[in-house]
Amino acid sequence: MHFPQSMRGRVSRAWLVLGCAAALVAGGLWWWLGHRQADTTPGATATQGPGRGGRMGPGAAGAQPVSVGVVDRRDMRQLVSAIGTMNARATAVVRVKVSGELQKLHFREGDEVKAGQLLAEIDPRSFQAVLDQALGALQRDQAQLKNAQLDLQRYQALLAQDSIASQQVDTQKALVQQLQGTVANDQGQVDAARLQLSYTRVTAPIAGRLGLRQADLGNVLNPTDTNGLVSITQVRPIDAVFSLPEVHVSTLAQQLAKGQQLPVELWDRDQKQLLGKGQLNALDNAIDTTTGTVKAKAAFPNADGSLFANQFVNVKLQVNRFDQALTVPSTAVQNNYVYLVQADHTVTQRKIKVGVTDGDRVSVQGELSPGDQVVTDGIDRLREGAQVTVIAADKVEKVDQAVQEARSQPRGMGKLTPEQRERLAKLPPEQREKLAKMGPDERKAFFQKLRAERDGSAGGADGAGAFPAASATVSGAALADAASTKAASGNNAAAGAAGGR
């Protein structure tokens, strides 16, 4: 294709401009790629500051939040822990001693009774009749004896005047002795009948706590009944029986022989509540070869009656005491080391020797002084020389309290506002349970109903204060409205679905 001479000059200039532009673009691309590769080479970011997106150096790392405890001196007890069972000091099953119908009960199950206290009464009429018969026979025989004694006196007077044979006097003497025996036998019958009558009044053989009643009014009771009428356990004082390792036997035996008091504490299953304090009384006379332990018994006054027979307890026996020992919180110890917080808010490891543990404290030996602060929480994130920030103890308690409150909220209540939570706390438990089963829209309608009724009742200056008292009566209607709203919405949805079909 041939262009005119004037057109050829224009084409050459256009190609020249395009070539220059292409060269500039290629140069810019080469420069950009070179700098991008330099930015991504290892170690390049170490020289960049925070403003250029580089990583911060070691000196700019953030401080670790930790909780701390204070090192102090206090008296420490060497405790031996064991598992024990409470045993009643004495146990008695109250059984009747004579057969009869149970007519009266004078106790309530679980009551504390004294020895000799009246518990029940059996129908006494048959026993009273037997006693009356015995008394009648006694009176009859006593009269015959009296008459025979008078005859003997007369016969003896006549014998002195030689007016009667001595054989008749001797016969009368024998008759008097015979009647004396009869009267004595009658007296025994009377005493036996009176004793049987007294057995119709059932009394407590020992002092203690009553169990559950095993018979009802109108039942005929017999002395051979297996369960008896009721059982009594003496629990004031009460004993705890537990097993101790044989390694402590010699030390404890020596201390008991010297009359030293060995304190014992009882704790519940979770070892959070102290149940009682007592003293070690005795050790068994033999060691169990299968377990290598010896049984021990400790006595507890149980003044409040909180301990029961056969109750499971955790036992802590004090075998020694160390005065003013250096102690740290037990949570601060990790592999015989503690992290000591220094004045510049850094931590350093200190090796310690762990001693006895008493509660949440442990005695230690090492380069620590009273008043030092050691890390108790956050140890797993620390290294030698790490920077730390100490969290105040009250803040930790507030966080724990908030977590516990969140866990105690009913299901579905996590999105309530503070105002709604305050109103929720004023409702009865059964209404809070119903509210927890509502959906978000139903719950919103419920609280709007409460707000409207509260605003309506706040006519006086003390209207807001009257809301808690009124909420109990209002909430029932509000719940009913919410339930009806739920039912109506369900019906509408069903109708809409039918219309769509």
pLDDT in tens, 315-372: 999 988 889 999 999 999 988 999 999 999 999 999 999 998 888 899 999 889 999 9
pLDDT on residue 185: 96
| pTM for this model (two decimals) | 0.54
Number of helical H runs and strand E runs in the chain = 9, 18
Q: What is the rounded CA–CA span in Å between residue 162 and residue 164? A: 6
What CATH fold (topology level) applies to the domain 323-397? Answer: 2.40.420
- Distance in angstroms (rounded) separating the CA atoms of residues 355 and 324: 13
Mean pLDDT confidence for 129-140: 96
Four-point Cα dihedral 121, 125, 130, 133, nearest 10: 140
* Average pLDDT of the segment spanning 86-106: 95
Break the chain into its structural domains and give their ranges: 323-397, 410-488
Please give the angle made by the CA atoms of 324, 326 and 331, to the nearest 5 degrees: 130
Q: What is the pLDDT of residue 134?
A: 96
Q: How far apart are the first and last CA of the chain?
A: 75
* Range scoring the smallest mean pLDDT among 2-11, 251-260, 334-343, 410-419: 2-11
pLDDT given for residue 94 in this prediction: 96
How sure is the predictor about 434, in pLDDT bands with cuts at 50, 70 and 90? confident
pLDDT digits (tens, 9 = 90+) for 15-40: 665 666 666 656 665 655 554 444 44
What's the pLDDT tens digit per position in 260-270? 899 999 999 98
- Confidence at residue 392, expressed as pLDDT on a 0 to 100 scale: 74
Q: Does the structure show a pLDDT above 90 at 44?
A: no
Query: Of 279-293, 330-344, 395-409, which range is least confident?
Result: 395-409
Residue matched to tokens 């048959």 = 126
375: amino acid identity, one letter? V
> Is the pLDDT higher at 182 or at 164?
182
How many CB atoms are located within 10 Å of the residue 216 CB? 8
Query: Helix, strand, coil proportions of the chain in percent (round to 5)?
Result: 45, 30, 30
In one-letter notation, the amino acid at residue 310 is N
Angle between helices 418-425 and 440-457 (to 10 degrees): 70
More confidently predicted of 315 and 52? 315
How do 72-94 and 312-329 pair as beta strands?
antiparallel
Amino acid at site 501: R
Lowest mean pLDDT among 17-26, 60-69, 471-480: 471-480
Beta strand 373-377 pairing with 72-94: unpaired
